[in-house]
Amino acid sequence: MKGQLGLEKTIEEYITKLCDIFDEAKRVLRKDGTCWVNLGDSYSGGAGHGGNTNKKHTYNVKVNRGKSDISSKSLCLIPQRFAIEMVNRGWILRNTIIWHKPNCMPSSAKDRFTVDFEYVYFFVKNNKTLFWINEVTGELRNIQPLSKKGIEGKDWHWLNNKKVSLWRGHNYWFEQQIEKTSAKLIEPRMMRGEGRRTYNGKYPEAGVVRSMSKNKRTVWTISTRPFPGAHFAVFPEKLIELMIQAGCPKYVCKKCGKARVKIYKTIGKQITKSMRTAGCDKEGKYKGTDQKDYKSAFAQRPSETKKRILESMSQVKESYYSDCGCNAEFEGGIVLDPFMGAGTTAVVAKKQGKQYLGIELKQEYIDMANKRIRIILESLF
């Protein structure tokens, strides 16, 4: 239809128009806002039509050999071209996420592997500190606090004979997503001091071991879901849940416009060097300081030894939300989807107690989205 994205004559024209749309999105996006883009790739078909693996933003145009250096049957690298152009236009690329689809459709091609993933890009528009949070009191400020020159216990505290600030600066709103670590990953070599690198990439002091919870990784294994409507490109709600939950606040002050930030606190114990190198007696208690003792104990009583290890490991627990101090009501943040389609983004936003704005050209999809949204609203009230 007229005005539809994806009918351009060249890849360059498509990338330019797509980035122009996100330039407008950047214009209306809050300074502390985030931008998430799901984009698949296409194969060059020479003078014919290129095959399309992208189900959200369609690109299925003729690639003219006389105007393109891409050989026939080659990947066009559309996601990478898009990401580079977005960065060139001032966007800040924080992550490239791989959406792994374990139940992807089989491929009829016999001269390449079946593609079972798509890209999700995580962009932000700001890299300067916009607000500060006190991780003890939960206080939220948009002006830099006194920090180490402030009040002890409120603005700073002593740690290893050094003044440590309790205020943490944020460039944009982002809610950390935590995932559980399987106990099967806890190996005895960790207790022997081998590979004791923490999840943030730093080596801890002697005695510190890995946390039972970890920051979510960038490979998301999410199965596709069937959709009964006349729309072939509906992505699963679970994929959108992660993006909206991480990138859009549930609580925004109606008075000052500040978003509440979830604060996590690490609670747990440390394993001392003697415990890490010790063996266990018949009651399962740590005993001795020799590596041989530990290996022998683990061989004889592996379950009890692992139990002691796991009980001593630190865990990340949700603590509380920050507070702007306005004592006003809160409302959900706003999610903008410039390619609304069947309305999956709006549906997930409403389920999470957030607001939405959607843009769509095709009336059939608009009607479909409105119907789905009405069903969700009726179920919530």
Please determine, for residue 118, whether its predicted confidence score (pLDDT) is greater than 80.
yes
Instruction: Taking residues 276-303, report their average pLDDT.
Output: 50
**Domains delineated in the chain:** 11-126+219-258+329-380 (3.40.50.150), 180-211+272-312 (no CATH)
pLDDT band at 16 (very low <50, low <70, confident <90, very high): very high
Q: What is the pLDDT of residue 271?
A: 43
Name the nearest CA neighbour of 179 among 205, 208, 206, 217.
217
- Phi first, then psi: give them for residue 191, nearest 5 degrees: -75, -15
Q: How far apart are CA 306 and CA 24, in angstroms?
A: 54
272 pLDDT higher than 90: no
Residue with tokens 């769509």: 360
Contact 5, 21 (CB under 8 A): yes
Least confident of 13-22, 81-90, 155-164: 155-164
The CA–CA distances, whole Å, from 199 to 63, 121, 181, 208, 272 equal: 44, 22, 11, 12, 19
Q: In what order do the strands lie in the sheet with 140-141?
A: 140-141, 131-134, 167-170
Helix (H, G, I), strand (E, B) or coil at 342: coil
pLDDT value at position 201? Answer: 43
CA dihedral 160, 162, 168, 174 (to 10 degrees): -30
The full DSSP string for 316-337 is EEEEEE-B-S----EE--EEEE
CA distance linking residue 94 with residue 212, whole number of Å: 25
Q: What is the pLDDT of residues 179-211, one digit of tens each?
A: 876 544 444 444 444 444 443 444 344 333 344
Residue 367 has pLDDT above 90, yes or no: yes
- Distance between CA atoms of 47 and 63, rounded to whole angstroms? 6
- List, in order, residues 6 or more apart from 362 with CB less than 8 Å away: 1
Confidence of residue 335 (pLDDT cuts 50, 70, 90): very high
pLDDT score at 105 = 84
What gap in Å lies between CA 26 and CA 29, rounded to an integer? 5
Q: Report pLDDT digits (tens) over 237-258.
A: 999 999 999 999 999 999 999 9
% of the chain at pLDDT higher than 70: 69
- Nearest-5° angle of CA 244, CA 248, CA 253? 150
* Cα radius of gyration rounded to whole Å, the chain: 26
* Predicted structure pTM score: 0.76
DSSP string, 89-127: TT-EEEEEEEEE-TTPPP---SSSPPP-EEEEEEEES--
Residue 2: pLDDT over 60: yes
Taking each helix axis from N to C end, the angle separating 302-312 and 291-300, rounded to the nearest 10 degrees, works out to 110
pLDDT score recorded for residue 378: 77
DSSP state of 232: T
Length of the chain: 381
Task: Report the C-alpha gap between 285 and 116 in whole angstroms.
Answer: 48
Question: If you average pLDDT over residues 266-288, what whole number do you get?
Answer: 47
Backbone phi, psi, residue 143, to 5° = -120, 135
In angstroms, the CA 376 to CA 142 distance is 36
32-86: per-residue pLDDT in tens?
A: 999 999 998 988 875 434 443 333 433 333 333 335 578 888 999 999 999 999 9
Beta strands in the chain (DSSP E): 34-39, 92-100, 117-124, 131-134, 140-141, 156-159, 162-165, 167-170, 178-180, 213-215, 219-221, 252-253, 262-267, 279-280, 286-287, 315-321, 330-331, 334-337, 355-358
Mean pLDDT of the chain: 78
Query: What DSSP designation does 152 have?
Result: B
In terms of pLDDT, which residue wins out, 305 or 328?
328
With a cut of 70, say whether residue 288 has pLDDT above it.
no
Distance CA(292)–CA(207), nearest Å, equals 18
List the structure tokens of 92: 């800040």
Percentage of the chain surpassing pLDDT 90? 50
Per-residue confidence (pLDDT) for residue 299, from 0 to 100: 58
pLDDT of residue 8: 84
Residue 115 to residue 104: CA distance in whole angstroms: 8
- Angstrom CA distances, 38 to 122, 243, 255, stand at 9, 10, 33
